Amino acid sequence: MKIEKNILLKPYNTFGIDVKAKSFTNFETIEELQEGLSFETNRIILGGGSNILFTKDFDGLVLKNELKGIEVVKETDEHVYVKASAGENWHQFVMHCVENNYAGLENLSLIPGNCGASPMQNIGAYGVEIKDVFHELEALHIDERSVEAFSASACEFGYRESVFKRKYKNKFVILNVTYRLNKIPVFNTSYGAIEQELQNMGVKELSIQAISQAVINIRSSKLPDPKQIGNAGSFFKNPTLPKAELKRLQAIDPSIPFYNVSDTHIKIPAGWLIENLGWKGVRKGDAGCHAKQALVLVNYGNASGKEIFDLSSEILASVKEKFDIDLEREVNII
């Protein structure tokens, strides 16, 4: 295993932040990962770099996950169980499943990042979350160097949450994820603009391929391509609040949108809150709030991580001041 020194991390984070790591290496096997973990106690595991904001140089070891492989591990009359290594690109994996008529992931097309991050974040879009298709994962316990399996219940999935973000943060490295996909598709087109886009596409017969393309079209029209404008997708979570809060919020602005998530709680779109306060399209130097999607903070070229973080702090403060809602960052801050 080769440990490199003073490596630029700009190519390895989708924000395109120009920082350095004191040490850097890739791992393609579990053995290489275990070897890398023994070099340095101050370390981070980097996947696709799509959910991270570097605010300064990293004074430690970056271990870049390059675990690869996709295989069908089990089939039943109704389901196919597909295992993906953690270093596989998420969108390419979704396309693999769509091409093979494995249904369930089509609504999650074009989400940036790698497969290993999908259960960590419980990624979701257009009415589907990873927990809906998750079977199990394997992860390496960093201290004990043992490989452990996690069922769906053991992952304790929540909205953009799992045990790996809080309870077991920095305790495990996800090695692979197995998804339970459908041989007979159950189409989910009611969320967002999917039905309208399918009409625009002239789709006569619904398929997972058509839904995937509709999602790709919608995301491409609303969200900046990280290869063109640095970003990490949605920067903020949609806040979940007790229903009792709704009257107070409607007194502030009667047009505030909300969604019922349970008998006792509602979800407020963070993008609406941010746009309502005039942040959409605001640019401070090369740090900005995207002109088409207020949830997305962007690097127009040479913004530092601190400048983007400071912009996010201003947005959080303004939402707190007007609505008394504490927005939460979805992106990991380093």
Domain segments of the chain as ranges: 4-65, 70-222, 230-333
> Which residue in 43, 160, 180, 219 is the catalytic one?
160
Residue 131: closest CA among 149, 101, 113, 153:
153
Please say if 219 is a catalytic residue: no
pLDDT tens profile 240-278: 999 999 999 999 999 999 988 888 999 999 999 999 999
> Quick one: tokens of 92?
């390419």
Active site residue 234: yes
Among candidate residues 35, 156, 161, 330, the one labeled active-site is 330
Helix (H) or strand (E) holding 180: strand 172-182
Q: Is 330 a catalytic residue?
A: yes
Q: What does the pLDDT read at residue 104? A: 95
Reduced to 3 states (helix: H, G, I; strand: E, B; else coil), residue 113 is coil
Spans in the chain with pLDDT lower than 70: 192
CATH 3.90.1150.10 at 230-333, yes or no: no
pLDDT of residue 39: 85
Instruction: Note the CATH number of domain 4-65.
Output: 3.30.43.10
Is the distance from CB of 143 to CB of 171 less than 8 angstroms? yes
Predicted local confidence at residue 57, as pLDDT: 96
pLDDT at 291: 92
- The helix (run of H) or strand (run of E) holding residue 53 is strand 52-53
Topology annotation, domain 70-222? 3.30.465
Tokens of 267: 């979800």
70-222 against 230-333: fold identical: no
pLDDT at 215: 94
pLDDT at position 294 is 94
pTM of the model: 0.84
Helix axes 208-222, 90-99, angle to 10 degrees: 150
H or E, element range at 65? strand 58-65
Catalytic-labelled residue, pool 234, 304, 307, 312 = 234
pLDDT at 166: 83
